[in-house]
Structure 1
Amino acid sequence: MINVIVTYTVSSEFVSENKANIQKFLDDFEKLDQSTFEYKVYLKEDGVTFLHYSNYINEEVQHEVLNVPSFKEFQRLRDESGLNGSHKVEILQAI
């Protein structure tokens, strides 16, 4: 099992657009086999920091999920919005 947390902060002006972009890829993720992965997105109390939590049964599934076109477009738009070095990826180990 692969478990990942990604956090990043966007400008307050980009929050609404980012939420819409997230909803697009989440809608597309629903068309995939939900028994092989989990993907959840949260907005922290500050209103501008997003946390994405995901787990995948293996690297093949992770690759399939992360290469959905709407997800790649979300990433591009997010990155172009100016993250100011706030993007952080953490791999978690289950205990």
Structure 2
Amino acid sequence: MISVIVTYQIKKEFIEQNKANIETFIKDFEKLDSSLFEYKVFTKQDGLTFVHHSLYKNEDIQKQLLNVPSFLEFQKQRDEIGLDGKAQIEILNLFASSDKKWKK
């Protein structure tokens, strides 16, 4: 199991475009086998900070998601136009879970 958290802040003028781009790639992710991954996006109270949390059963599904065209376009626009600072990427190691799907 692979767990990744990406946190980033965007410029105010890019908020609506960032949200639209996220909605687009999430719709594409919904077409895939959701038993192999979970992908959630949160915003912090400031409205400018986004937190993406992804869980993947294995590297194959992770690679598949990371190469979905709408996800690649989201990343490109965010990084080239909308990002305010640098994105922080954290890899988490599962210790325990109440969800059997994610048990070791």
Q: TM-score, normalised by structure 1?
A: 0.96
Structure 1, unmatched stretches of 5+, are none
* Distance across 2 between alignment mates of 1:22 and 1:30: 12
Deviation at 1:81, TM superposition (A): 1.6
Percent identity over paired residues: 59
For the residue of structure 1 that corresponds to 2:35, the secondary structure is coil
Task: State the Cα deviation string for residues 59-92 of structure 1 (Å, max 9, x = none).
Answer: 0110001100000000000001252433010000
Q: How many residues are aligned here?
A: 95
- Structure showing greater radius of gyration is 2
Matches within 5 A, 1:13-24: 13-24=13-24
- Separation in 1 of the partners of 2:74 and 2:5? 16
The residue type equivalent to 1:2 in the other structure is I
- Amino acid of the residue matched to residue 54 of structure 1? S
Deviations 1:19-46 (A, max 9, x none): 0000000000000000000000011101
Q: CA RMSD in A?
A: 0.9
Gaps of 5+ in 2: 96-104
TM-score, scaled to structure 2: 0.88
